[in-house]
């Protein structure tokens, strides 16, 4: 009997087949999903970095230009850049962009602060480079004018914005206004093309 068992062999059993060997653990489905989502998270972080880099550049450019205008141009004659068609003339604007609504300074201050909060919340879902640039321009411009509202005369949240770009037959504005307008135009274009901030494209 022992000889027969030796020749025929014992039947394989799951326990016997696995005895003395380590079975590789199956990779959990959650880990697979995390690995698939890792590139998306990395791309999202890069887009957020672009947003804040654009915002910082726009903000510093606006802040530097206003400091220079206040120091060198305010209370002086305008500087002609392209004849009468474009001049630099320092003015204080208590209204919104391009001098509209001077009676609602506090309201425009609250709106600017709300825009900043909305952009910061939207950044968590950001995966589109064009949207990152557009929102960065909006954020930098809003921060630039909000800084004036808070820190310039006549008082906190009522400060007048420094404007100095004066085209002929047009309102006087600053670089923050330009950033806001450019960001808004880009957002309109992206919306018409069906591109969402999260990078998806839809067709209505």
Positions marked catalytic: 163, 177
> Distance between CA atoms of 130 and 199, rounded to whole angstroms?
9
What single string gives the DSSP state of each residue in the chain? Answer: -HHHHHHH-PPP-HHHHHTTSPPPPPPPHHHHHHHHHHHHHHHHHHHHHHHHHHHHHHHHHHHHHHHHHHHHTTTSPPEEEETTTEEEEEEEE-SSGGG--GGGHHHHHHHHHHHHHHHHHHGGG---HHHHHHHHHHHHHHHHHHHHHHHSTT-TTTPPEEEEEEETTS--B-HHHHHHHHHHHHHHHHHHTTB-TTS-B---
């Amino acid at each position: 009997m022992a000889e027969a068992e030796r020749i025929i062999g014992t039947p394989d059993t799951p326990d016997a087949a696995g005895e003395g060997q380590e079975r590789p653990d199956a990779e959990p489905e959650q880990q697979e999903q995390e690995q698939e989502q890792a590139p998306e998270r990395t791309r999202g972080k890069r887009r957020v970095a672009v947003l804040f880099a654009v915002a910082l550049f726009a903000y510093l450019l606006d802040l530097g230009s206003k400091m220079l205008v206040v120091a060198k141009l305010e209370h002086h004659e305008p500087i002609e850049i392209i004849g009468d068609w474009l001049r630099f003339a320092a003015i204080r604007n208590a209204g919104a962009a391009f001098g509209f609504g001077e009676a609602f300074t506090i309201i425009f201050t609250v709106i600017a602060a709300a825009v900043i909060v909305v952009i910061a919340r939207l950044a968590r879902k950001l995966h589109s480079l064009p949207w990152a640039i557009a929102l960065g321009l909006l954020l930098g411009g809003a921060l630039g004018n909000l800084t004036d509202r808070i820190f310039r005369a006549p008082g906190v949240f009522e400060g007048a914005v420094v404007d100095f770009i004066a085209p002929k037959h047009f309102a006087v504005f600053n670089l923050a206004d330009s950033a806001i307008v450019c960001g808004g135009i880009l957002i309109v274009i992206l919306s018409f093309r069906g591109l969402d901030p999260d990078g998806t494209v839809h067709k209505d």
